[in-house]
Structure 1
């Protein structure tokens, strides 16, 4: 009986002293466990439970997983196909007020909307192009200056970007040169982020549409950068070059002062023929040489957008010049020689500049925004006759001005900026 009595006293003592402590300690943990893992019936030690709770708090979202995968792999976004999507555009022609009128297709009365519902699917299954994340882009350019330099294709992409970013933060237009809107600057005050546009269709010193002997032509100095953007280069953190179409025009090419190298399509001047392909390559080289020589040791970035094609079917001013309402399938069209060569030259110059930076032990990021094939497969994405408001209000006319080169907004060009964001995420990580 004495032994039993002692055991009873010990049991009472244990219950009185330790059970409440046990309950106060472990019941909250148990409740937390079943809150985090409501379907789990396994028993865990406190250490295992704490580990499980920590792990659960770090489970990434689907978009985080996609972004992580893209960063782990050096993604090739240039090959792939357009697939249909139900996702709506992030902006429209009325919600964003800066769209150039000629690219505001829906406001101008384009009746079909199917061209808005396609997304780019890279061939490499490890890579995806997420829906554009305006907040992520703004965080990357916080306290930085992003500049687009080039022709009207650069302006087209710039305006797309401003519209996309406007869904998260309102920009303030702090500078505009004139009604031509060739030089503009916005500030996103919430992020102290600046985005600028610099009109420079050749990237180098030059004159547009000079008239001589009744011939309009361009004059280019292939070894001298355009000072309008180069003089402000120190202010830029990210630079996007985008040009190409102006090189298809008649031109005279100079180098080393006033030494005439040759001409493009100007036989009347008895001038040595000089391929516009060579001129384009030299121009990209000159622009990248300027940037790499000044910033090879910096953490800045320069991106070269590759050449994008037009989709004229016959004369530019005939009805139905670009009539397609859906993308081409991957094998439905071959890349023409012009697009193939211009793309190749741009990428070669990017590779050479990247190699030079690496050899110099620099940190400057040099990348290509390779969108040539993406653009080739989208004959449906151009304004066509809807570069003007309601072009068929008075009936269909046989002759009507068409734009089968630039891109409707919203439209395919928004994907250029989604890929640019993925490039910038990689740059930020590195």
Structure 2
């Protein structure tokens, strides 16, 4: 190429001018290409995970289920694009909900015979369950890891704070798991109890001035529970209002964990603003059968809106984390009052068990309503999260008390009729993993994520 350029202009002066032009031409070509490369560089970065979602970084309220990743939006101008390069892109969050149970040779974090706060019906060890294989599994997400529960770290995060579990017996089950885990570092002191079956209780960890409570509210909204003793066989729900029993204490709570669902499967009448909307399983009454999915969504929507409203209307309210633990499937394979209702001794393998329609729909409603609550915003310092445990719970048919909800159920041989619990979880057991993930969510909330 050089020989051709200088063939007819072979003088020093001409050679110097051509070389100068060539350098200028090169600069005008290279600089725009370099700028174009800088602007387009993000396009060649590794793409986000398929489950990633876009959300504004300036939102005063944030949410993510355990499957959500947050990225900042890209700019439409080259200057904004180059400025964005100065920021390190956020790493995708761990998708805790997608994984498998793997064998774990270590011992459980606590003993069922040693922890003092386990409800009797979930104390499978003390009730004589002979197999122990259900104790030796850990949840392993596909693309990350869940660290072993650190009770000291959890207590540090709730120091001078109040953590409350609100909901039905699944909320209590998760609470009692957490208390057993924390008791390995410091024994909780029971300072309050009220209601039948200890439905309202409060503990204090004096070393950290940390409070942990459980409040019974199986619908979250205002409701009257069915009672065979009074001949009332249907629940009555009032969907426009939350249950003031827990809502009246909301301002004093720093972390709230809602967990409901199973009571919505029971027969019920639904009312809103004085009007009967319909019912679920009430053929003997002249009401429209409307099922429970839409009602469940409406009740959760009412609850999360009220949390936001009260947070906004309370001057000086501190930051608050609101968690919704998603629906935990039951595993009845036969009649609830016969032996062998939940006989499995190992977790399901990947692909062995698909999520059924009802479980999937309940989970979907919860995840969507949490995301909607965050999108609406809820004031400075209010954060919504979905603790998405539905799949990991589905995979553990071996983790329920079954007949060991009662002490030594086979002491007198197998009985024709034998009550089984295939809904709640043995302690220790799979539900301990829920709280391992809750700890990671709280670390992220307080900016301690590694």
Global fold match (TM > 0.5): yes
Question: How far apart, CA to CA, are the structure 1 residues paired with 2:404 and 2:227?
Answer: 30
Among 222, 232, 240, the residue aligned to 1:205: 222
Counterpart of 1:407 in structure 2 is 425
CA 113–273 in structure 1, closer or farther in 2 if over 3 Å, else same: same
Question: How far apart, CA to CA, are the structure 1 residues paired with 2:417 and 2:429?
Answer: 25
Question: How far apart, CA to CA, are the structure 1 residues paired with 2:311 and 2:185?
Answer: 31
Question: How far apart, CA to CA, are the structure 1 residues paired with 2:415 and 2:345?
Answer: 20
Question: How far apart, CA to CA, are the structure 2 residues paired with 1:215 and 1:416?
Answer: 35
Question: How far apart, CA to CA, are the structure 1 residues paired with 2:103 and 2:133?
Answer: 9
Counterpart of 1:260 in structure 2 is 276
Q: Deviations over 1:116-146 (max 9, x none)?
A: 00000112x2x21111100010000000000
Shift of 1:93: 1.5
C-alpha RMSD of matched pairs (Å): 1.7
- For the pair 1:132 / 2:152, whether they are aligned, the reply is no
Is the 2:113–2:125 contact (alpha carbons within 8 Å) kept by the matching residues of 1? Answer: no
- For the pair 1:293 / 2:309, whether they are aligned, the reply is yes
Counterpart of 2:256 in structure 1 is 239
Question: How far apart, CA to CA, are the structure 1 residues paired with 2:351 and 2:245?
Answer: 42
Map 1:331-410; keep pairs closer than 5 Å: 331-357=351-377, 362-410=380-428
Q: Secondary structure in 2 aligned to 1:429?
A: coil
Question: How far apart, CA to CA, are the structure 1 residues paired with 2:163 and 2:379?
Answer: 24
Map 1:37-186; keep pairs closer than 5 Å: 72-123=91-142, 125=143, 127-178=144-195, 180-186=197-203
Is the 1:210–1:219 contact (alpha carbons within 8 Å) kept by the matching residues of 2? Answer: no
Map 1:265-284; keep pairs closer than 5 Å: 265-284=281-300
Q: Deviations over 1:276-331 (max 9, x none)?
A: 01111111111111111222585211000000011001100111110000000110
Q: Secondary structure in 2 aligned to 1:275?
A: coil
Shift of 1:396: 1.5
Shift of 1:241: 0.2
Alignment TM-score, normalising by the size of structure 1: 0.80
Is the 1:211–1:217 contact (alpha carbons within 8 Å) kept by the matching residues of 2? Answer: no
> 5+ residue gaps in structure 1?
1-70
Question: How far apart, CA to CA, are the structure 1 residues paired with 2:186 and 2:196?
Answer: 25
Shift of 1:192: 0.5
Counterpart of 1:302 in structure 2 is 322
Q: Deviations over 1:354-378 (max 9, x none)?
A: 1111xx6633110000000010000
CA 187–72 in structure 1, closer or farther in 2 if over 3 Å, else same: farther
> 5+ residue gaps in structure 2?
1-89
Question: How far apart, CA to CA, are the structure 2 residues paired with 1:229 and 1:155?
Answer: 14
Is the 1:174–1:186 contact (alpha carbons within 8 Å) kept by the matching residues of 2? Answer: yes
CA 251–233 in structure 1, closer or farther in 2 if over 3 Å, else same: same
Counterpart of 2:36 in structure 1 is none
CA 212–120 in structure 1, closer or farther in 2 if over 3 Å, else same: closer
Q: Secondary structure in 2 aligned to 1:268?
A: coil
Counterpart of 1:188 in structure 2 is 205
Is the 1:77–1:419 contact (alpha carbons within 8 Å) kept by the matching residues of 2? Answer: yes
Q: How many residues align?
A: 355
Question: How far apart, CA to CA, are the structure 2 residues paired with 1:366 and 1:79?
Answer: 20
Shift of 1:391: 0.3
Question: How far apart, CA to CA, are the structure 2 residues paired with 1:243 and 1:396?
Answer: 34
Shift of 1:213: 11
Is the 1:205–1:226 contact (alpha carbons within 8 Å) kept by the matching residues of 2? Answer: yes
Shift of 1:274: 2.0
